Structure formats: C-alpha cells, structure tokens
Amino acid sequence: MTSVADDSAELEAFRQRRQLELQQQLEQQAKQQAAAEVESQVQAQEQQALDQAMKTILTSDARSRLTNISLVDTNKADLLKRQLVGLYEQQQISIPVNDEQLKRILASLSKSRRDASIRRI
C-alpha cells in the first residue's frame, strides 16, 4: 500500500516539475516575442524618420529614383538614405538634392564595385 502512495507522490512531484518547466518556457517565449516586437517598432520608427528626411532632402524626381532603387535592392537604398542624411547633417550637400546630384552620390557609393579587377595568377 505504501508503494502506491509513494508512486502517487512521485507522480504528483513530476507533474509539478513539468508544469513549472512549461510555465518557464512560456515566460521565456513571451519575453522573446516582446523583445522582437520592440525591435520591430524601433526599426519601423527609424525607417519612418528616414522617409520623412528624404521628403526634405530630395526632390520628387530623386525620390522616385530612390523608390526604384529600393524596389531592386533595399539594402542599397537604405545605405543611400543613411548616406544622404549624414551628408545633410554635415552640411555637405545643398537641399533639395535633384536627380542628377543623386546619381552622382549613387555613383560614388557604387564606385568601389566598378573598380574591382580580376587578376590571373
């Protein structure tokens, strides 16, 4: 009879440990999800700030070109936006930047890629 009581107590202890483990896993998942949501909101705010800055810095033709670039390569468009904001903050460009000026800035960013050469050994 004591064996049944011992088994029952052992089973109950196992259930409690398992319930505690599951609760800890759920709490950890909730924390990770909250952190991901915060990160997503921060990125969205940064993107919104960049887009707002582009309205100030670029003419409509230049914004159209930047939109086309972002459709092809979002990383390149983000790099270009950050570069433009940096140039604006350092007062190295006059605003509004027109399409021709944007082409030159874009060419300067892409210059390192064009200068690459392949040497045979």
What are the sequence ranges of the domains in the chain? 2-111
What percent of the chain shows pLDDT beyond 90? 60
Hey, which CATH number is domain 2-111, 1.10.287.3610, 3.40.50.1000, 2.60.40.1840, 1.10.8.140? 1.10.8.140
Write the DSSP symbol of residue 97: B
**pLDDT at position 23:** 96
Mean pLDDT of 18-34: 95
Mean pLDDT of 79-84: 91
How would you classify residue 95: left for phi > 0, otherwise alpha for psi between -120 and 50, otherwise beta?
A: beta
**pLDDT at position 115:** 52
Global confidence as pTM: 0.64
Hey, is 115 helix, strand or coil?
coil
Whether residue 4 is predicted with pLDDT greater than 90 in this model: the reply is: no
DSSP 98-113: -HHHHHHHHHHHHHHH
Mean pLDDT of 20-30: 95
Distance separating alpha carbons of residues 33 and 24, to the nearest angstrom: 14
Q: Which residue has the higher pLDDT, 44 or 121?
A: 44
Cβ atoms within 10 A of the Cβ of 98, count?
Answer: 15
